[in-house]
Structure 1
Amino acid sequence: MQDLYYDGKTPLPEKGILKVEKDGLCFAADQKEYVFSIRDILSVEKFSSEYRLEIGNLSSSNSTVIIVFYSENTYANLIAIVKQGKVGAISGIWMSAGIWQKIGVLAILAFIVIFGYNSALSYLYHFVPLSYDKTRSALLSPKIREFLYVCSAPEINRVVDSIGKRLKDPTDPFTYDIVVVQDNIANAFALPGGNIIIFTALLSTMESPEELAGVIAHEMAHVRRRHGTRNEIRYLGNFLFLSLTIGSGFEGVEFIENMDTFYELTSAALFSQKFSREFEMEADREALENLKRSNITAEGLQHWFERLKVTLAKKEKEENTINIPDFLSSHPPTDERINVIQRTIAEGDYSNGKLGISRSKWPRIRNQCGQRETALKK
């Protein structure tokens, strides 16, 4: 059976014989011979009963040549040349490796590239000024009131405002805009720069104002640690990466050149965000420190998460009978998080400070605004 020579220019191969000579390779076709240097070898691979030789860096052109041959002796001679070091060290190791070894190496390299890429994205926020977060907050505050049913009941708003002011650290660079929104979704979330939204369905599940203080402290920690901005960077980085690798390159991302579209893109990510385990635990730690500094008991946060854990356990047992709050999916109360909170409170010098609102009044205050099927105005 004759060997096949593919020049990379035409689909039809030339037939001939591949020879391994002392100083190089020679492919003898019917009417022409092609000579190559050993150092031009890129790879040698075995596929069932045939062998595939790839040659590059040719003096005559920039194309890559593929030679398919069938001689086991020729293959053995090529591998011997590789082991003798006549080919570059890295190329030699690669060519002598088996197919599964190569797959393993490529998988490891892919993991390193992806891990390094995500790690780099995690630290890019240091290069984004705080003014970016503050600008986002200034833009979003009126939009929240324009498009969402914001609760206007004075008593619950006074409670929320007083908790926010009490928790505000003098060194915190952000100004917080905490609003209660009428909705039947039991959730709360923070946006870059200081916007915090608490839904009335979540408020209705809180047994004390100290639990509300714990949740607000947790959301404020997300803002101060800039978790929303860091999520934005990761979201945009992955979007651009995918556009450049499997999309249409830089032409595919032209539509985010104006800031309006940019904010629309990032806002979509923010309102549906779910923070990482690392971010959630970081927010827990900072919330506990903030409660301690503000002389507010941290047991409210602890009891809140313990109760969420019970709700989650019931949800897992009765999949179709219990409506799991969205707060559980975006802020999962894992055993690890609860254990850290319990241990930190037990080991630390935490106060038992209250907010001065009696338990008998709290149910009326928390339910002042009621709920709606949707927070969005029609």
Structure 2
Amino acid sequence: MTGPQGAVAATFFDGQTAQRHAVRIAPTSDGLGLAVLFDDAARGALVWPFDRIRALDGQADRASLMLTLRAETGDEAPRDPARLIVTDAAAVDWFHRTRPALFHRDVRPGTFRKVAIWLSGAVAATLLMLFVILPGLANYLAAHIPVEQEVAFGRAVMAQVEYLFGDGEKGLTCTGAEGQAALDLLVARLTEGQAIPYALQVRVFDHAMPNAFAAPGGQIVVFRGLLDDAKSPEEVAGVLGHEIGHAVRRDPTRLALRAAGSAGILSVVLGDVSGGTLAGIAGEHLMRAAYTREAESAADDYALMLLADAGVSSEPLAAFFDRIATLTDAMPEYLSSHPLSAGRAERIRTGALYGADRHILDEAEWRALRGICG
């Protein structure tokens, strides 16, 4: 096989049986094909056209070649089942030097179109799962999950939030007894007589962020930064009323299930709410919660109702939104999941109960609350 003359030993498999056939191979006299000569003369000879001979993929070793024929078969890589194994070094070298078509990749006509169709289908299925099926399933579960299971899920989320965002040993929760008593008193006065499906658990995180968020099952967190920035306990009451509104509507459960995805939904369905990774993902999303504008407006309305029923003016809450408007209103409203703070302040003033003058905490209780983190 060092030229157009001569024959060398090789091994042939017909692809129908496991039998090995000792053969000799040589180029045909016209140079267009490879003759495969069997020791059994009765079997005759095969001729493989060079333009159809292919080396099987994954042959980095040049000490041997496994050859097959391109053929119109039913799979996507058209190959004849027969195999020819060449181990003669000179013949292997000759094939590499003189037959570049040996390593062509053959694909059936229409394969790329099929791949494009399947890829488009996979993308469409993924988008359907992410933006239709998972949100719909999360909404359904949030409305139908038993309260006890939702509370357990919320506790798992809060435990992971403290573990992931705290300093390991101390955690995030502020533990000042007088401050916690003042916070509990504020919540009790704000929610007195209200039909709330949870025993609310409100705590303060020792973090400078001026924010608050609600977790599933009536778990609510106020950040120390919010207490530092608030001008009155009524402002804190308004923000807490807003987060209680989210809790009552089960917005945090809906958001947490969406954030955790199908695995998180399955965990809740099966009652396994202790998965640290899933709870951590859900907690991180809740700390930077992005509810829809409709959900935010509904939570504002709930806060106004709580303040009105408690006899507390909602003007301090409007003033709070006035102050943060300069920080949050740079983004156009149609690009934001939250209504603009200035617009929220105006909307709250429209429904403000100006005649109410009840202070939800006295000065001593307010000082205790602001000092809850020490």
Both proteins in one fold, TM over 0.5: yes
Matched, 1:7 2:10: no
- Equivalence for 1:166: 189
Change in Cα spacing, 1:211 to 1:102, as seen in structure 2 (3 Å) is same
Is the partner of 2:207 in helix, strand or coil? coil
Taking the aligned partners of 2:135 and 2:159, their CA distance within structure 1 comes to 34
- Equivalence for 1:236: 260
Change in Cα spacing, 1:115 to 1:129, as seen in structure 2 (3 Å) is same
Taking the aligned partners of 2:129 and 2:372, their CA distance within structure 1 comes to 50
Is the partner of 2:204 in helix, strand or coil? strand
- Equivalence for 1:270: 283
Q: CA-to-partner distance for each residue in 1:3-58, whole Å, 9 max, x for gaps? A: x8452165348xxxxxxxxxxxxxxxxxxxxxxxxxxxxxxxxxxxxxx865xxxx
Change in Cα spacing, 1:104 to 1:344, as seen in structure 2 (3 Å) is farther
1:172-321 aligned at under 5 Å gives the runs 172-239=196-263, 259=272, 261-262=274-275, 265-273=278-286, 274-278=288-292, 279-312=295-328
Taking the aligned partners of 1:183 and 1:201, their CA distance within structure 2 comes to 6
Taking the aligned partners of 1:149 and 1:124, their CA distance within structure 2 comes to 29
Taking the aligned partners of 1:312 and 1:165, their CA distance within structure 2 comes to 30
Change in Cα spacing, 1:152 to 1:370, as seen in structure 2 (3 Å) is closer
Per-residue deviation at 1:213? 0.4
Counterpart code for 2:371: Q
Is the partner of 1:180 in helix, strand or coil? strand
User: Are the equivalent residues in 1 in contact too, given 2:311–2:356 (CA < 8 A)?
Assistant: yes
Could you state the TM-score of these two structures normalised by the residue count of structure 1? 0.55
Of structures 1 and 2, the larger Rg is shown by: 2
Taking the aligned partners of 1:234 and 1:301, their CA distance within structure 2 comes to 30
Q: CA-to-partner distance for each residue in 1:79-115, whole Å, 9 max, x for gaps? A: xxxxxxxxxxxxxxx99xxx9x999999878755643
RMSD (Å) for aligned C-alpha atoms: 4.6
Taking the aligned partners of 1:118 and 1:257, their CA distance within structure 2 comes to 17
Per-residue deviation at 1:353? 3.2
Is the partner of 1:179 in helix, strand or coil? strand
Per-residue deviation at 1:203? 0.6
User: Are the equivalent residues in 1 in contact too, given 2:180–2:372 (CA < 8 A)?
Assistant: no
Counterpart code for 1:128: I
Per-residue deviation at 1:229? 1.5
Q: Which runs of 5+ in 2 are unaligned?
A: 1-51, 53-70, 81-107, 163-168
User: Are the equivalent residues in 2 in contact too, given 1:292–1:350 (CA < 8 A)?
Assistant: no
- Equivalence for 1:376: none
Counterpart code for 1:277: Y
User: Are the equivalent residues in 2 in contact too, given 1:228–1:270 (CA < 8 A)?
Assistant: no
Change in Cα spacing, 1:351 to 1:176, as seen in structure 2 (3 Å) is farther
Q: Which runs of 5+ in 1 are unaligned?
A: 14-51, 55-65, 69-93, 242-252, 317-330, 372-378
Counterpart code for 1:189: F
User: Are the equivalent residues in 2 in contact too, given 1:295–1:353 (CA < 8 A)?
Assistant: yes
User: Are the equivalent residues in 1 in contact too, given 2:213–2:221 (CA < 8 A)?
Assistant: yes
Change in Cα spacing, 1:334 to 1:353, as seen in structure 2 (3 Å) is same
Is the partner of 2:229 in helix, strand or coil? coil
User: Are the equivalent residues in 2 in contact too, given 1:137–1:193 (CA < 8 A)?
Assistant: yes
Change in Cα spacing, 1:351 to 1:219, as seen in structure 2 (3 Å) is farther
Per-residue deviation at 1:141? 7.9
- Equivalence for 2:47: none
Per-residue deviation at 1:165? 0.7
Taking the aligned partners of 1:260 and 1:347, their CA distance within structure 2 comes to 40
- Equivalence for 1:57: none
- Equivalence for 1:41: none
